Amino acid sequence: MAAVNRTLRHQVIRIYKELLFLGREYPLGYDYFRTRLHKAFASQQHLTDEKQIKQGIERAEHVRKEIEALYYLKRYRALRQRYDKV
Amino acid sequence: MSGLRILVPIKRVIDYAVKPRVNRAQTAVETANVKHSMNPFDELSIEEAIRLRERKVPIQEIVAFSAGPAKSQDILRTAMAMGADRSIHVVVEEKDPQLEPLGVAKLLKKVVEEQKSDLVILGKQSIDDDASQTGQMLAGLLGWPQATQASKVEISDKTVTVIKEVDGGVETVKANLPMIITTDLRLNEPRYASLPNIMKAKKKPLEKKTLKDYGLDEQPRLTTVKVTEPPPRKGGVKVDDVDGMISKLKELGAL
């Protein structure tokens, strides 16, 4: 049991760090992003059930993908505006 | 059959989200303390090289290349985090004369010959100079076929089929390797260089060179006379009725 928890703990920290890294480019600023990210993770810290933690990690992964898509779209639209619209 | 050797030249430019400011002397755009990143069109070319590999096109190596100040290393690392195998950095300090498209093309020709590349994928233009010349000049210098503004690339054996974006539609061209491709906006969706991949990319080899290593001593051929900001947009006017609008349009010479 403890061993499983340790790997899960590692996974949680990893996704947290990845999200923090992504947050450096967040349009509303890093501070805005970091406080909210911190709150979101802190609000889940009571979870002990393995299944629930895994669900939480999945949700975080989902958020990561969403943010990446957001960045891509933001850039694509800016470039399209500048270079494609005649 | 030994795989393709792809060269992807990339450029470090002011980030697309930053509004460029002209310096006080009106000679250039302010670059100090401004966020820089990889030219977005070059991200597309890196991504395309990686996708070719993922589509099981036999690829031996993807080499990222950049010429620029020491900080260009960062974008080479990003390129390697995305999936390039190794990279070459030709150091051109900011105080040195800056390379122009022709200079870059001459340099790239040497690199292509040295690396024995058979496919070069470039961004169609950089978002700072917007010259859109390097790929074409390189194709001319090498005498290779070129496909500019690619929106789709397919490789089977030695034949490359590229769908290009042209005014009012698309154009399909076919050529044999080796060749030059420049990317357009809709070619693919570049992946994000994630934190773990950036860490892993630190172990990938990065070669540092200078222009002298390639026997080049490029002096600028162009002189920048003056750089100014575009005139601010003038506000519109409200008209009361149709007659007012017509008279206003006549006044402006539109009718």
pLDDT of residue B69: 92
Residue A14's closest chain B neighbor by CA? B196
Return d(Cα B135, Cα B151) in angstroms, integer. Answer: 16
Residue A68: pLDDT over 60 = yes
- The letter for the amino acid at B121 is I
Q: What is the pLDDT of residues B35-81, one digit of tens each?
A: 999 999 999 999 999 999 999 889 999 999 999 999 999 999 999 99
B222: confidence class by pLDDT, cuts 50, 70, 90:
confident
Edge-first strand order for the sheet with B119-123 is B169-176, B159-166, B146-156, B179-183, B119-123, B4-9, B59-68, B86-91, B206-209
pLDDT above 60 for A1: no
- Kindly state the tokens that stand for A38: 């911190």
Confidence of residue B240 (pLDDT cuts 50, 70, 90): confident
Q: Copy the structure tokens of residue B76.
A: 């080479």
Note whether A61 contacts B: Cβ–Cβ < 8 A: no
pLDDT of residue A86 exceeding 70:
no
Which of B88, B87, B106 has its CA nearest to residue B215?
A: B106
Nearest beta carbon to residue B185 from set A68, A71, A76: A76
Give CA A54 to chain center in angstroms: 15
What's the pTM?
0.86
Among candidate residues B246, B115, B111, the one with its CA nearest the CA of residue B255: B246
What are the tens digits of pLDDT across the range B143-191?
999 999 999 999 988 899 999 999 888 999 999 989 999 999 999 999 9
| C-alpha pair distances (Å), B23 with each of B20, B31, B129, B211, B232 | 9, 9, 16, 28, 17
Task: Count CB neighbours of B137 within 10 A.
Answer: 21
How confident is the model at residue B198, as a pLDDT?
92
Is A18–B192 a contact, with Cβ atoms under 8 angstroms apart? no
pLDDT tens track for A26-45: 989 999 999 999 999 999 98
Task: For residue B69, give both structure tokens.
Answer: 């100040």
Instruction: Determine contact: B131 vs chain A, CB below 8 A.
Output: no
